[in-house]
Amino acid sequence: MITIKYPYPESIIRDKVIDHLEKYELINNSQHGFVKKKSCLTNLFVFMEKVIDYINSGIPVDVIYLDFQKAFDKVPHRRLLMKLSAHGIADVIRWIKNWLTDRKQRVVLNGQYSGWSDVLSGVLLRTSSVCYIY
């Protein structure tokens, strides 16, 4: 038996989107999450360096923490597609639209199934493509 691993469709889409964003320099240099050689931790280091510089200079610093943990559960599909179009990501927008269109979900609890409902917002687990754009 031969096992052939294929990339997840969302990883193909992510790679296409990143290629486009990098080609047209649409990713701000301050972006850390979801960027090669940068992470949320590198973002924290840059932030802390700025805070320390301000404090050492006698400049008061206020910090507000925002929790975006569930932010991508609420991304409306239509808004995402419009934003992709605005950035000129035409070559993969059809894939993304097909991937998001006509999705259904239901809840199973103790062997009881709910009815099927349309999914109009949110992204699938393992999906990081949206994070680059939104």
Q: Tell me: pLDDT of 49 over 90.
A: yes
Instruction: Specify whether the CB–CB gap between 16 and 92 falls below 8 A.
Output: yes
Q: pLDDT > 90: what percent of the chain?
A: 18
Sorted by sequence, the CB contacts under 8 Å of residue 65 that are 6+ apart come out as none
Instruction: Specify whether the CB–CB gap between 32 and 46 falls below 8 A.
Output: yes
Extended beta strands in 1-134, E state: 104-105, 108-109, 112-113, 117-118
Give the per-residue pLDDT at 52. Answer: 95
Which of 7-11, 60-64, 113-117, 129-133 shows the lowest per-residue confidence on average (mean pLDDT)?
129-133
Instruction: Specify whether the CB–CB gap between 34 and 102 falls below 8 A.
Output: no
CA distance 82 to 35: 23
Q: Tell me: pLDDT of 18 over 50.
A: yes
Report in angstroms the alpha-carbon separations of 29 from 2, 39, 45, 46, 83: 43, 12, 15, 12, 20
pTM, two decimals, is 0.52
Give the per-residue pLDDT at 124. Answer: 57
CA distance 97 to 78: 9
pLDDT class of 57 with cuts at 50, 70, 90? very high
